[in-house]
Amino acid sequence: MQQAPGGDLPKAFQILPQVLGPTGRPPCIGAAPPVHPTPQKGSGVRVFIARLLVIIGALNWGLIGLFGFDLVAFLFGGQMSLISRLVYTLVGVAGVFVIGDLVGNRQRT
């Protein structure tokens, strides 16, 4: 690489600040500004409940993995009780919802 006169860096690296500008990133020609959708009414509550259920499921699976203890089954009368199965189903649906929320947020940014 050719050294610039009087500089330690090659000439290509010396002009980078001029090309990149003050932000340090190349300018995006014709790029649209990011779209930030307005949150729907009640969506914060749905996301909170979904995340809470995912945390409950994660803690339950941690207890099962570490100690062989199923807290949901213990609290609600066994793995096959109606309430336990409802909790397991809600945790699964919440997991799918949170995955969709993560994918949706990733595409927007």
Structural contact between residues 53 and 91, judged by C-beta atoms closer than 8 angstroms: yes
- Provide the 10 A C-beta neighbour count for residue 83: 13
One-letter identity of residue 43: S
With 0.75 as the threshold, say if the pTM is over it: no
Q: How far is CA 4 from CA 9, 21, 85, 93, 105, in A?
A: 7, 20, 71, 61, 45
pLDDT for residue 6 is more than 50: no
pLDDT for residue 31 is more than 90: no
Q: How far is CA 90 from CA 27, 53, 73, in A?
A: 46, 7, 14
